[in-house]
Amino acid sequence: MSVLIVEPMEVEVMQWLADRHALQYAPELVRQPQALREALHHARALILPASVAVDAALLRAAPRLRVLGRMSAGIENIDTKACQLAHVQVVRSTSASAAAEAEFVIGALLALLRRVPVVGSDGLMVGRELGCATVGLVGMTPAARLLAQLLPVFGTQVVGYDPALHISAPLWARWGIAPLPLRALMEQADGVSVQLAYFLRYRGLMGDRVLSFCKPSQVLVSISHSALFDDIALAQALNSGRMAAAWLDSLEPGLLDPGRPLFGVSSLQITPRVASTTREARTRAAWAVARRIDDLLNTQAEPSEDFRSTFPDELPDPST
């Protein structure tokens, strides 16, 4: 058996792979850890859903494994150092979900700006228009590139920040985004979109030193891992009313439990990773990962520009 698929996948994509490699499709193994480890013994390539963590113990059960495919963009629960030591290449499409994520962010910004009223100059509580807003993009990902193209159609002014991208980098001009330091972005933006790829060094980046300077009545949408946020600082910004509302599309378990800072915060909206979960995005991701797996199993070629091996301390290249 060459390819083990544990994530639901389009029939056409699986048939394409099955025509080229010995394939086992077993999504039920997600709920059977021991059976999964037994099935891994002969697998050269593996496609796992984001709900299954990849650590050194799992890799030891897969001595022949050379390629790990992930159809979702997130790799927070993949031990990339262990993959590197085991000579397992992690492949994922970096752009398959960009259109879905950009649409989600725009829809969420429109909803928050209109649904969460502010006091107008006439004293009435009113909504706001995206076309009259400044939107700050935190993280220069493929989704941010699309947002930089779509938002100006509304008349929106777009500013941006990325900790891995110098303010003088030519990408800012190419994408039509005005670069700012993070604090300045928070002070100027009526709406903030966070799509920064998560690395451990970014944990708590959106903390008190950032959120305490947000523009009054600001709204925020995040499709990034919630570990980027300090929950105490976010709760304080929302409860004080300085930040009008926030919408997080990914939340670590337990952050809304009783006794935690975000428990009961009415201006916080949560969705369960729906930004990238569209039929079209999953189809694009499935084909991209399947073709890359076929390429690697046959030729051991170097990764194409649409894929990244993801090892510790690697800075994402936002220009691809």
Q: Which amino acid is at 60?
A: R
DSSP strand pairing (243-248 vs 268-270): parallel
Tell me what pLDDT residue 250 has. 85
3-95+279-299 and 98-270 in the same fold? yes
For 277-315, the pLDDT digits (tens) are: 899 999 999 999 999 999 999 975 444 444 444 333 333
Region 114-121: mean pLDDT is 86
> Domain 98-270 maps to which CATH number in 3.40.640.10, 3.40.50.720, 3.90.950.10, 3.60.70.12?
3.40.50.720
The arrangement of strands across the sheet holding 3-5 comes to: 23-25, 3-5, 45-47, 67-69, 89-91
The neighbour count for residue 234, using CB atoms within 10 Å, is: 25
**Confidence at residue 208, expressed as pLDDT on a 0 to 100 scale:** 96
Domain ranges of the chain: 3-95+279-299, 98-270
Highest mean pLDDT among 1-10, 42-51, 232-241: 232-241
Cα–Cα distance, 65 to 18 (Å, whole number): 18
Closest CA to 180 of 120, 130, 138: 138
The residue-averaged pLDDT of 225-232 equals 96
| Mean pLDDT for the stretch of residues 3-23 | 94
What is residue 274's predicted lDDT score, i.e. its pLDDT?
92
- SS3 for 126? strand
Q: How far is CA 273 from the centre of its chain?
A: 9
Mean pLDDT across the chain, nearest whole number? 90
The model's confidence at residue 1, banded by pLDDT at 50, 70 and 90, is low
Query: For residue 293, what are its two tokens?
Result: 């797996």
pLDDT in tens, 40-53: 999 999 999 988 99
The pTM (predicted TM-score) of the whole model is: 0.85
Per-residue pLDDT, averaged over 57-69, amounts to: 95
Q: Which stretch of 33-42, 119-128, 190-199 has the lowest confidence by average pLDDT?
A: 119-128
CATH 3.30.70.260 fits 3-95+279-299, yes or no: no
Q: Which strands sit side by side in the sheet containing 268-270, from one edge to the other? A: 178-179, 157-161, 134-138, 191-194, 218-222, 243-248, 268-270
Q: CA-to-CA distance for 75 and 50, rounded, in angstroms?
A: 8
Q: How confident is the model at residue 73 (pLDDT cuts 50, 70, 90)?
A: low
